[in-house]
Amino acid sequence: MKHINIPKEYIKRKTSTIDFGYELSEIKGYLKPIPFQLKSLRKAENKIKNGESTRKVAEWLFLETNRYISCVGLWKHITKKTEIDFAELCDKQPDGYVYILTNPAWSDWVKVGRAVNTKDRCSQFQTSSPHRDYKMYFKRKFKLHKQAEDTAHELLKKESLDFNNEWFKIDKDKAKKIIKNI
């Protein structure tokens, strides 16, 4: 039986996961909002928009609402369900690391990127490898990690045998030395 009077603030349940700020409703297949959680989620969005780390904001959100959302889940919400641009969001968090990832499947290549949290970043790569064999070979903290990453990429392009985006065919120790000297 189709419900005709579904409140406009209800959302259709699309997966087995219940979205943060919602709970099961009395109408099958729909979630009803929890206003105070949604209000806190909007505050969290603003905190991240203003440069706070998703990890710290996720912890704050839990203390505020007593409902858990992982920092990755919060990041996905921010980048997929809001108008906030991913690159712009990263640029608002100036402190971070430039890192070197290695994988034995591509022993002559290194990935050089930037992250606020290198452990989380390495974990994200593990999901694309059946052997979970990416290793964080080196990381260096910078006040302005986006600029440091740009500089590292320019220098690595000159020194590497080949490159593709953030991947460089270069000895990992040579790449480390380049980043250390920035």
Report pLDDT for 141.
95
Average pLDDT over residues 66-74: 90
Provide the pLDDT confidence category of residue 81 given band limits of 50, 70 and 90: confident
Out of 75-84, 93-102, 157-166, give the one with best mean pLDDT.
157-166
CA distances from 92 to 70, 80, 127 (A): 20, 18, 26
Q: CA–CA separation, 132 vs 63, rounded Å?
A: 33
Contact 44, 61 (CB under 8 A): yes
Domain boundaries, the chain: 11-87, 96-180
Report pLDDT for 30.
93
Report pLDDT for 17.
87
Q: CA–CA separation, 111 vs 64, rounded Å?
A: 38
Closest by Cα among 148, 147, 108, 103 to 128: 103
pLDDT higher than 60, residue 1: no
pLDDT higher than 60, residue 161: yes
Report pLDDT for 137.
96
- At a CB cut-off of 8 Å and minimum separation 6, what does 121 contact? 99, 113, 115
Average pLDDT over residues 40-60: 88
Burial of 61 (0-12, 13-18, 19+ CB in 10 A): buried
Structure confidence by residue, pLDDT tens digits, 117-154:
888 777 777 777 788 889 999 999 998 888 999 999 99
Q: What does the longest C-alpha to C-alpha distance in the chain come to?
A: 68
How do 135-142 and 96-102 pair as beta strands?
antiparallel
Q: CA–CA separation, 18 vs 24, rounded Å?
A: 8
pTM: 0.58
CB-side exposure of 59: number of CA atoms within 13 Å?
A: 4
- DSSP line for 116-147: S-HHHHHHHHHTT-TT---EEEEEEEESSHHH
pLDDT higher than 60, residue 3: no
pLDDT, greater one: 88 or 34: 34
- What's phi and psi for 36, nearest 5 deg? -65, -30
Provide the pLDDT confidence category of residue 181 given band limits of 50, 70 and 90: very high
